[in-house]
Every structure is written in C-alpha cells, then in structure tokens.
Structure 1
Amino acid sequence: MIELLRGFPNNVVAIRAHGEVTKKDYDEVLIPAVEKTLKTHDKVRILYELGPEFDGYDAGAAWEDFKVGMEHFSRWERIAVITDVEWIGLATRLFSVFLPGTIRVYPHAEAAKARLWITQAA
C-alpha cells in the first residue's frame, strides 16, 4: 500500500510504502500525485519511504514504477529513498545512473536528513 505524506512543498510528492505495493497503488495514488504536480511544476521531487513493514512489490507495481520513470524521464529533479531494505538501496543506486536528477538513499535513522534534502532549494 502507498500513502501520501502531507506537509511537503507542492513540488514534492512524498509517499510511504507499507505492506505489499500493487499496481492499484500506483494507479490510484502515486501516478495521480505525480501528474498533478507536473501540471504546475516543470520538475518533480519524490520522497519514497519504505518502512519496516514494507513487504515488497507485486509484478504490476514493478512495471508501473518503470513506466512512470520513463514517461516523465526528464522531469525528475530529486529522488530521496528512505529504506533499510538492502536490495532496494542497492537497486536504487544502480539505476540512478540512468535517470536525470539526483537520487539519494537514506537509512531510516537519517529520515530527517532525507526530508530536509528533498525540500531544500537547488
């Protein structure tokens, strides 16, 4: 499940994933939030927090994640991923070389640092 987090500037889409993330979560929560932000901003920033209760992605969610990234390829400004899940941190770092913008991975112990970085002026 993906939930939107409140209290961020309107150029930041902040979400928290817990349980299993599905295609429906992307279709109903993440994609509409990104598209709404891109109507008023040239670039979007993403804060993606994967809590300890995160169980993984279904195949549909993994495909939607890829599609969202490619559809808005040049419009990612910053992405902060907060996770203690080792494979997600590693995969994020590996794929970051293929995406524009800056991507950083933070452990949960540094969540406040991630939130500060994602909201700071460029």
Structure 2
Amino acid sequence: MLILLPNLPDHVFGVKAVGEVTADDLKSVLLPGLEVIKAKYGEIHYILVLETKVENFTAGAWFQDMVAGLKHLTAWKKMAIVTDQKAVEKFTDAFSYVTPREAKGFALTALNEAITWVSLKS
C-alpha cells in the first residue's frame, strides 16, 4: 500500500510504502501525484519511505514504477529513498551517478534529513 506523506513542502511529492505494493497503488497514488507536481512545478522532487521489503512490490507495481520513471524522465530533479534496507540505500546512491537527476538513500532514522535534502532546489 502507498500512503501519501503529509506536511511536505508544496514542491515535494512523497509516499510511504507499507505491506504489499501493487500496480493499483501506483496507478491511484504515485502516478497522479507525480502528474500534479510535474504540471505545477515542471520538475519532480520525490521522497519514498520504504517501510516494506522490495520483495513486497508486485510485478505489476515494478512495471508501473518503470512507466512512471520513463514518462517523467526529463522532469526528475531529486529523489530520496528512506529505508533500513542497506542494499536499496546503496543502490539509490549509486543510481545518481548514472542519471542526470540526484538520488540519495537515507536510513529510516534520517527521515527529517531526507525531507530537508529533497526539498532543496538546486
């Protein structure tokens, strides 16, 4: 399930993933949220708080995630992934070296730091 993160700056879109995450979650929560942010600001500052294992994302969810990434390829500005899964955090940090956008992994205990970082406009 994806839950909208409250109290973020207006130009930042964020969700928390808990339990099983399905294609319907991405279609009903993630994709519309990205559309609104892109339309309003022309770029995407995104934060994902991952409180579930990546194995709990269904195949359909991964496909929708890929669709979202490609659809908004030029609009991505900053992405923060907040998780206690060290492999995901390291992958996110490495990902920023191969894309034009900034991506950074944070531990769950560093949520406030992640929000501050993703909120800064470069």
Is 2:50 aligned against 1:50?
Answer: yes
* C-alpha RMSD over aligned residues: 1.4
Relative to structure 1, the CA distance from residue 97 to residue 70 in structure 2 (aligned partners, 3 Å threshold; closer, same or farther) is farther
Q: Distance in 1 between matches of 2:93 and 2:28?
A: 27
Whole-angstrom distance in 2 between the partners of 1:95 and 1:114: 16
* 1:103 equivalent in structure 2: 103
C-alpha displacement of 1:101:
1.3
Gaps of 5+ in 2: none
Report the counterpart of residue 18 of structure 2 in structure 1: 18
Partners of 2:27 and 2:121 lie apart in 1 by 29
SS at match of 1:19: coil
* Displacement after TM superposition at 1:94 (Å): 4.2
SS of equivalent to 1:74:
coil
Letter in 2 for 1:79: M
For the residues of structure 2 that align with 1:58 and 1:91, how far apart are their CA atoms?
19
- The CA distance in 1 between the partners of 2:91 and 2:21, in whole Å, is 17
Q: For 1:1-122, list aligned pairs within 5 A.
A: 1-51=1-51, 54-55=52-53, 56-122=56-122
- Cα distance, 1:100 vs. partner? 2.1
* In 1, Cα distance between equivalents of 2:87 and 2:58: 16
Uncovered stretches (5+) of structure 1, i.e. residues with no partner: none
**Shift of residue 112 of structure 1?**
1.3
In the alignment, the residues of structure 1 paired with residue 24 and residue 49 of structure 2 have an alpha-carbon distance, to the nearest angstrom, of 18
Q: Mark the CA change 1:90 to 1:120 in structure 2 (over 3 Å): closer, same or farther.
A: closer
Contact in 2 for aligned 1:73/1:99 (Cα 8 Å): no
Whole-angstrom distance in 1 between the partners of 2:99 and 2:67: 13
> Percent identity between the aligned chains?
27
- Against the structure 1 CA distance between its residues 17 and 104, is the aligned structure 2 distance closer, same or farther, given a 3 Å change threshold? same
TM-score (norm 1): 0.90
Contact preservation (8 Å) 1:16, 1:50: yes
1:45-92, Cα deviation, whole Å (9 max, x unpaired)? 0010012xx142000001111111111101111000000113322433
What stretches of structure 1 move > 6 A for 4+ residues in a row? none
Q: TM-score, normalised to structure 2's length?
A: 0.90
